[in-house]
Amino acid sequence: MIDILIGILEQGFIYGILALGVYITYSILDFPDLSVDGTFPMGAAVAAIMIVNGMNPWLALVVAFAAGSAAGLVTGLIHVKGKVRDLLSGIITMTALYSVNIHIADGKSNLAIFTGETIFNSGIAAMLPEVLQPYRALIISAVLIIICKLVMDWYLNTKSGFLLFAAGDNQQVVTALAEDHGKVKIMGLILANGLVALSGAVLCQHQRFFDVSMGPGSVVLGLAAVIMGMKLFSNFGFVKGTTAAIAGAILYKACYAGAIALGMEAIDMKLITAILFLVVLMFNTGNGKKKGGQPHA
């Protein structure tokens, strides 16, 4: 039982980073960004290939973040400069990334990390005291999500962060502030997809493999987590959007574990994902798309 709980938390923390990214695009920017389905496995591909080649696993996270950011930049440029609709811009990037990701993984659609150091078995993780060793994956993923959350909370309270909220809330205000709202959107997409790829890179190190099929369903998972988190916590005004998104991811993973426990198989994964998302959406009707964006002063 406790093992299942730990598993849920680990997964929740790792996917929580993805949810933070989706929170930026969906909740703050009001941008339905499907590039996530490409940037999530992209992060995994980057991490896998780097670790297989014996590179530092923490460096792999940094490179994954940068790769995801670059993909976010592409989506942003397609949308803002190319004047392509938001949904389609994401689809274009996502589709292109499918091939790009296989290229990154040395032409393979899946890549296992048999040997090699990951963030979960080397460095800080290895230095943990003996008693904590069984929980090292939980501890590392917890530390990561806390850092991501704190950095994001800080950022969202800066002038730049305010502008991000404004761009999703009312573009006219951004224009009136003599700022280019297109640029602000691009910035948001860069940050969001960086986080998504980071999440993919952490997951890859946790499960020790990259598979190109990790992609489809990521955006749905992220959306479900954010919408569920917002819905559950919107009654508590003091809960920040970032907290809600992470809580949503944990809850989502709990529901998912529940479905598996009820006898669903691994091949039903995407089916469960879709059904859970549907349930979340149906419970979410009534107040429609909840604008959860709110920086806290």
Partner 1 sequence: MLKLENICKTFNPGTVNESTLFTNFNLQVKKGEFISVIGSNGSGKTTILNIICGTIPLDSGNILVQGQNINKLKEYQRSKFIGRVFQDPAKGTCPSMTILQNMAMADNKGKPFNLTGGINKKRISFYQEQLSRLKLGLEDKLHVKVGALSGGQRQAMALLMSTMTPLDFLILDEHTAALDPKTSEIIMELTDEIVREKQLTALMVSHNLRHAVEYGNRMIMMHQGGIVLDYDAQKKKQTRVDDILGIFNEISIECGN
Q: Which of 56, 175, 207, 284 binds partner 1 (CB under 8 A)?
A: 175
The crossing angle, in degrees rounded to 10, of helices 181-207 and 2-22 is: 160
**Can residue 26 be called a binding residue for partner 1 (CB under 8 A)?**
no
Rounded to whole angstroms, how far apart are CA atoms 198 and 90? 18
Which of the residues 209 through 228 are near partner 1 (CB under 8 A)? none
Candidates 165, 233, 252, 277: give the one binding partner 1 (CB under 8 A). Answer: 165
Task: Tell whether residue 172 is a contact of partner 1 (CB under 8 A).
Answer: yes
- Residue of 99, 157, 213, 287 that binds partner 1 (CB under 8 A): 157
**Separation CA 65–CA 257 (nearest Å):** 28
Residue 166 binds partner 1, judged by CB under 8 A: yes
Q: HSE on the CB side for 226, CA within 13 Å?
A: 27
Interface with partner 1 (CB under 8 A), residue from 49, 61, 174, 203:
174
User: For the purposes of burial, counting CB atoms within 10 Å of the CB of 72, is it exposed (0-12), middle (13-18) or buried (19 or more)?
Assistant: buried
Name which of 149 and 181 has its Cβ closer to partner 1: 181
295 binds partner 1 (CB under 8 A): yes
Report if residue 293 touches partner 1, rule: CB under 8 A.
yes
In this structure, which long-range contacts are made by residues 85-89, counting pairs with CB atoms below 8 Å and at least 24 apart in sequence? 86/31, 86/32, 86/33, 87/32, 87/34, 89/35
Q: How many Cβ atoms are within 10 Å of 71's Cβ, its own excluded? A: 28
Q: Of 158, 268, 274, 289, which lies in the binding site for partner 1, with binding defined by CB under 8 A? A: 158
Which residues contact partner 1 by CB under 8 A?
Answer: 155, 157-163, 165-166, 169-170, 172-181, 291, 293-295, 297
